[in-house]
Structure 1
Amino acid sequence: MSLVHETPAASPEEARRHFLGKLSVETDPSDVRRDQLAGADSFLLVDVRAASAYADRHAAGAVSLPYADISPETTAGWPKDRLLVLYCWSPACNGAAKAGFRFSELGFRVKEMIGGFEYWQREGFPTEGARVGHEPVIG
């Protein structure tokens, strides 16, 4: 008995729809960094952790808007035609998912950077903030 085959695999069309749906709402640190290095400015990288966490250390080029503070007032000047790429602490954090829900309710296009800040650091990508150069920051 194969555990791999215990549940039948999806058809190629079902798999294509599934992965397209997943990729339409997710990206990863490597893709974000590659686009930053290429000068792509079609998205805004948003750190949705607490403001104090952002001040300690955040992904280079990110702006801060804690997910609990997302509202029509705090996003009034934000362009709705620019994709927002959101991140929180790690794969164990759902702050970016909460932020994605809130931003999308306000009419923004969003993607979650899977792995969050933890995987941004693990890949050795540049960070900014008061604790740059110290041990990795985790939440």
Structure 2
Amino acid sequence: MSIDHVAFFTARLTFQTDVADVQAALATDHPGFVLVDSRGAPAWDQGRIPGAVHLPTDLVPERAARLLDPAVPVVTYCWGPGCNGATRAALALALLGYRVREMIGGIEYWVREGFPVVTDAGTTAGPPDPLTVPCGC
């Protein structure tokens, strides 16, 4: 294996995380990060990960300092693998000096894993998608 391969995969694990790891961290008293939902208001209203902070990608430069502590790492998420909103939000936060990771899979895979979603009406969780759970990795 070349050094390029090692650097590439190390970088991915440094700057990305997945829904299972985020859920496991959020289940503790001290997850070590703040979770940021970078979707717009209509998507946020449809459902979000419990405890997430709503900071749409295009509002990061304007609102990040009011909503986030620069000393606390950030994990961003958006809709899912077909969307780069979380990547764009992570870049915007990194440009402001935040330590940030992107949650790959987004809320789509959060829901597919059967994890809870909160709306103004309460918290719900559906059954896990047998195509994604258990991954075993």
For 1:100-119, list aligned pairs within 5 A.
100-119=90-109
**SS of alignment partner, residue 58 of structure 1:** coil
The CA RMSD over aligned residues, in Å, is 2.0
**Structure 1 CA distance, aligned partners of 2:6 and 2:29?**
30
1:32 Cα deviation after fit: 0.5
TM-score, normalization: structure 1? Answer: 0.82
1:52 Cα deviation after fit: 1.8
TM-score, normalization: structure 2? Answer: 0.83
For 1:1-139, list aligned pairs within 5 A.
10-11=1-2, 13-71=3-61, 73-77=62-66, 78-130=68-120, 133=124
Query: What one-letter code is carried by the residue in structure 2 that aligns with 1:75?
Result: A
**Structure 2 CA distance, aligned partners of 1:108 and 1:87?**
15
| Structure showing greater Rg | 1
- Report which structure shows greater RCO (CA 8 Å, sep ≥6): 1
1:51 Cα deviation after fit: 1.5
Gap regions ≥5 residues in structure 2: 128-137
Q: Which runs of 4+ in 1 moved over 3 A?
A: 130-136
Gap regions ≥5 residues in structure 1: 1-9
Aligned 8 A contact 1:51 1:65 in 2: no
